[in-house]
Every structure is written in C-alpha cells, then in structure tokens.
C-alpha cells in the first residue's frame, strides 16, 4: 500500500559513487557545501569590484609587512654570517660549497626535463577556471593587492 501511494515504484535504484562525485567538485563546494555556487555573481559589478579590491588591499598590506620582516631576517642572517666569517669564528669550505652547487644544478636539469605532475595541472586549471568565471572580483583583487603593497 505504501509503495502505491508514492507513485510508480519498480524497485530499481541507481548506485552513486560518492568518491568519484566529490573529486569532480570544486574546492569551494567541498568546503562550503552544494549551495555555495558562484556567489560573486549574485552581486552588482561595483560590489564585486569592492569585495575584490578590499580583500586584495588587505592581502597586499599583510604581504608587504611580512615580506619586509622576512627580508630583514634573511638579510640580517647573511650579515651576521659574513661578520662571523670575517672575524674568524667560522670557516667556509668553498670547494664543498662549489661541489654541492654543481650537484644541485644537475638535479635541477634532471627535474626540468620531467613533466609537470597532474595534480599541479589540475589545480592550475581550477584557478584559471575561477579567474575566468570571476573576472571582476579577480581584477579588483589584483588592483587592491598592488595598492596594498604600495601603502
């Protein structure tokens, strides 16, 4: 009786492979759920530019501050290393450095000839797809990023 009240029921079900289905979804749908969609398209052009610009400016500003700190730390480390070498606290084995540099160059030549891994290609394609779908937000972000780096 219950089967008749639900309409035509012939007892056939389709099995879905959830692992395969989730591999095809973009990362933001995995994170925010099915209904997230291209949320930037829901807003006007000006709003999309403002959202991209503000997030880009914040990112650029933080990137600039952290970059200055990192550059200062690396430069200070090199300065202290040179000072210690000059005063005789440390001795650099330049033959060993040259041998290691040659080995590193050879490894870079070997890796240069190999193909890019498919995982990197798929992520790059995902980023390109996102940029194409959200041109206004992306343009605002990069403009804001440059302004944030300059301020």
Residue 12 within any structural domain of the chain: no
pTM (predicted TM-score): 0.53
User: By C-alpha distance, which of 66, 50, 73 is closest to 137?
Assistant: 50
* Of the listed ranges 69-83, 99-113, 135-149, the one predicted with least confidence: 99-113
Residue 117 within any structural domain of the chain: no
Residue 96 within any structural domain of the chain: yes
* Of the listed ranges 3-12, 18-27, 42-51, 127-136, the one predicted with least confidence: 3-12
User: By C-alpha distance, which of 50, 37, 33 is closest to 133?
Assistant: 37
Residue 33 within any structural domain of the chain: no
In the chain, the percentage of residues whose pLDDT exceeds 70 is: 75
Mean pLDDT for 91-111 is 87
| pLDDT at 10 exceeding the cut of 80 | no
Mean pLDDT for 53-76 is 94
Residue 3 within any structural domain of the chain: no
Cβ neighbours of residue 36 closer than 8 Å, sequence gap 6 or more: 28, 29
User: By C-alpha distance, which of 44, 4, 23 is closest to 118?
Assistant: 23
Mean pLDDT for 96-112 is 86
| Residue with the larger pLDDT of the pair 122 and 33 | 122
Q: List pLDDT tens digits, range 19-48.
A: 776 666 666 665 555 554 556 667 778 888
Q: Is 43 exposed, middle or buried (0-12, 13-18, 19+ CB in 10 A)?
A: middle
Instruction: For residue 105, give both structure tokens.
Output: 């160059």
Residue 50 within any structural domain of the chain: yes
Among all chains, which residue has been given the structure tokens 């759920």?
33
Q: Which helix (H) or strand (E) holds 21?
A: helix 18-23
Indicate the SS3 state at residue 114: coil
Indicate the SS3 state at residue 88: coil
Q: Which domain holds residue 150?
A: 44-107+135-151
Give the count of domains, the chain.
Answer: 1
Mean pLDDT for 137-147 is 90
CA distance 76 to 14: 64
Residue 4 within any structural domain of the chain: no
Residue 98 within any structural domain of the chain: yes
């Amino acid at each position: 009786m219950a089967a008749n009240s639900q309409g035509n029921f012939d007892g056939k079900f389709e099995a879905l492979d959830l692992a395969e289905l989730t591999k095809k979804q973009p990362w933001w749908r995995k994170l925010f759920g099915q209904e997230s969609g291209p949320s930037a398209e829901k807003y006007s052009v000006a709003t999309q530019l403002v959202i991209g610009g503000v997030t880009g400016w914040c990112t650029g500003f933080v990137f600039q501050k952290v970059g200055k700190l990192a550059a200062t730390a690396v430069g200070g480390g090199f300065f202290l290393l040179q000072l210690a070498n000059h005063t005789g606290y440390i001795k650099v084995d330049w033959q060993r450095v040259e041998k290691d540099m040659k080995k590193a160059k050879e490894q870079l030549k070997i890796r240069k000839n190999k193909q890019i891994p498919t995982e990197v290609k798929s992520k790059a394609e995902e980023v390109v797809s996102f940029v194409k779908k959200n041109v206004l937000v992306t343009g605002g972000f990069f403009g804001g990023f440059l302004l944030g780096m300059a301020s």
